[in-house]
Amino acid sequence: QVRVSLAAANHMRVSWISSSSNSPSSVQYGTSPGKYESSATGSKLNYGFLLYKSGTIHGAVLGPLENNTVYYYKCGGMGKEFSFKTPPANLPVTFAVVAGDIGQTGWTVTTLEHVQKSTYDVLLFAGDLSYADYYQPRWDSFGRLVEPSASSRPWMVTEGNHEIERIPLISSFRAYNTRWRMPYEESGSDSNLYYSFDVAGAHVLMLGSYADFGQRSPQYKWLQADLARIDRKRTPWLIAVLHAPWYNSNEAHRNEGDDMMKAIESLLQAAGTDLLFAGHVHAYERWDRMFQGKKDDCGIVHITIGDGGNREGLATKFLDPKPENSLFREASFGHGQFKLVNSTHAHWSWHRNDDDQAKIADELWIQSLSSTGCSLASKKMR
């Protein structure tokens, strides 16, 4: 269950699970196969849930690392050699977007195969990972399923509703928070359920649809502070990722993102957020630039891509007629690629999984709002 994620600048976190608590939490690594000039030692922990007890969950932070470089590594000083590639320091950079609801099915396998064949630097994932719900062994099978991809490129995730473990008198994110540690502390957040990170020319917000987001909440206050620190000259692109979509013309999960949208849409709009990825609805849909329910040239492009391959199937019932600002929608499994070409332009493509062949079914060139004059001051004057 080996995987990597971004940590602090020029650092990567390697996570894995061992059956023995005596296994060392160390990673040996270097830039040539079988030659490990460096090592890092991290921490270990486990957790229990009803009658289940996890293996020993290890995590070690490697770095500082060179940008755009392949590193070879071994976990715990034994076993298979893995490799990962660090993201570039500057644009262009490509994100693979499996924005939600992937689960563990045959379609999941197809999606992961297509992702692995693509050239990408970082994977963005908007929740509903393993579909374990409260059955903990599914977390282990999921970890093994995604290892080929997750061990070679950083996976950056946020939580979905299937990460909530509900049994009588208990509701928690224990498994998710223990297994999928993200760089929340590095971004000033107090919770693994929401955080941010920089990569190349992008600042990425990983928001929590299932953490409190009201104006007095820790998430809201953290988001205010995080947006205030952004330097758009250094990171001209601003991307948000969350689970429950704000704009949705599917009959599934209608209006479930409305409360969060009312709470923080204005914050993201004022900051000039370019694009928001969501999952939850098991279909693909791309909206125009939107703000407060209407098309807005300075608004956010909303993309729902909750079609990774989950066991619940596709959400095939869309509202009829189609809203004029919903520009493309389809109930098919697939994944997306978002390439930031330079500081002003990016290319989005959605790749359909039909017949086990990845096909581009929808694509769009996007201009960054930081290059169009869509500032808070200009919005107040309109």
If you search the block for the tokens 């359909």, which residue do you land on?
Answer: 352
CA separation for the pair 266, 299 (Å, rounded):
10
Are 312 and 319 in contact by the 8 Å Cβ rule? The answer is no
pLDDT, tens digit, 9 for 90 and up, residues 282-298: 999 999 999 999 999 99
Q: Is 255 exposed, middle or buried (0-12, 13-18, 19+ CB in 10 A)?
A: exposed
Mean pLDDT, residues 261-275 taken together: 97
pLDDT value of residue 380: 39
Q: Position 302: which residue type?
A: H
Give percent of the chain above pLDDT 90. 84
pLDDT value of residue 78: 83
pLDDT value of residue 375: 57
pLDDT value of residue 101: 84
Q: Which residues are catalytic?
A: 253
> Looking at the predicted structure, is the pLDDT value of residue 336 above 60?
yes
Work out the pLDDT band at 307, boundaries 50, 70, 90. Answer: confident
pLDDT value of residue 379: 42
pLDDT value of residue 373: 83
Q: For the chain, which domains are there?
A: 1-86 (2.60.40.380), 89-371 (3.60.21.10)
| Residue 378 phi, psi dihedral angles, 5° rounding | -70, -30
> Looking at the predicted structure, is the pLDDT value of residue 35 above 60?
yes
CA distances from 262 to 95, 258, 291, 305 (A): 28, 6, 11, 21
If you search the block for the tokens 């392949």, which residue do you land on?
Answer: 70
Mean pLDDT, residues 71-92 taken together: 95
pLDDT value of residue 230: 96
Q: Which residue has the higher pLDDT, 181 or 133?
A: 181
pLDDT, tens digit, 9 for 90 and up, residues 198-217: 999 999 999 999 999 999 99
CA distances from 111 to 46, 82, 92, 237 (A): 30, 21, 24, 26
pLDDT value of residue 17: 97
The least confident of 44-48, 138-142, 170-174 is 170-174
pLDDT, tens digit, 9 for 90 and up, residues 155-170: 999 999 999 998 877 7
pLDDT value of residue 31: 98
Mean pLDDT, residues 225-243 taken together: 97
pLDDT value of residue 381: 31
Q: Average pLDDT, whole number, for the chain? A: 94
Q: State the CB neighbour count (10 A cutoff) for residue 118.
A: 14
pLDDT value of residue 308: 86
End-to-end CA distance of the chain: 52
The least confident of 26-30, 162-166, 244-248, 293-297 is 162-166
b/e code 222-235 from CB counts within 10 Å (16+ = b): bbeebbeebebeeb
